[in-house]
Structure 1
């Protein structure tokens, strides 16, 4: 009887140990970059501007249907304004791509790598990730909602953390109505 109890105990202990070390059932789903979008909106004292930037590549990682990771690369050279036309559109886009802002010649891509994913609703997750812009990497936290083969996220990014200084009250005094606020919004719609 003691041998049977010991054998049963060992079987249960080793059974739990074996199942705890089994690899995760991870599934990496590539994002369809041509069907996905990243929209931005930036604010200044006298108004705002908005536009888009293209995803170069991206993937979400799932384990048994639950989001557990992701990584994305954005093509900063594709940065465009959608609220202006003609000469003013070209000037704004050129300025945003210059070293005053995102320096896309030296930094043609930005990346986001998920470091922590916590479920916070039926189809919703709180995600923390490492965002790299202009060679500076900082953590960001945002919510992601997933429905079928689509995901959406909205983020606030503080450009001052990435050394994007132009018109920033964090770096310059007495800008008055020429101040451009440090935070800008990203609205991301993914298809995978």
Structure 2
């Protein structure tokens, strides 16, 4: 599927307006750039409803973006999920065991759309998978090799228990 996907709003922290602003200049002249709206003027960042702009192309070699989302602890954002399903936009979702327990309806949507969603491991409790005791962004790391193993294996076990195929990838919290 050849498509160009840009976002003008924060989508679970996965796409920034800065990235979206850079992409149109990198596209070939034959591809019409997608206009991305201005960022909010508020002093503090706000979560806003996503505005997805899609331009499909059958020409090979055009720039594409892979969407990935971290499903950490909170509730699924039905606005984002329904947009991805309605527009048939594929995405990789990194899920934690904590998130899986809170979002059975979203899991059902993912499992009903295996052509759209690749579910991967984001850990058991969303703690940094670092084997030495330290604070990362104020979050205590796993702290030992055994605790890192539990974070990774606990996330994978929760996925299997939810009926999700075994993950191929792990993305730890805090990107450390």
- TM-score relative to the length of structure 2: 0.24
**More RCO (CA 8 Å, sep 6+):** 1
More strand per residue: 1 or 2?
1
Instruction: Return the TM-score normalized by structure 1.
Output: 0.23
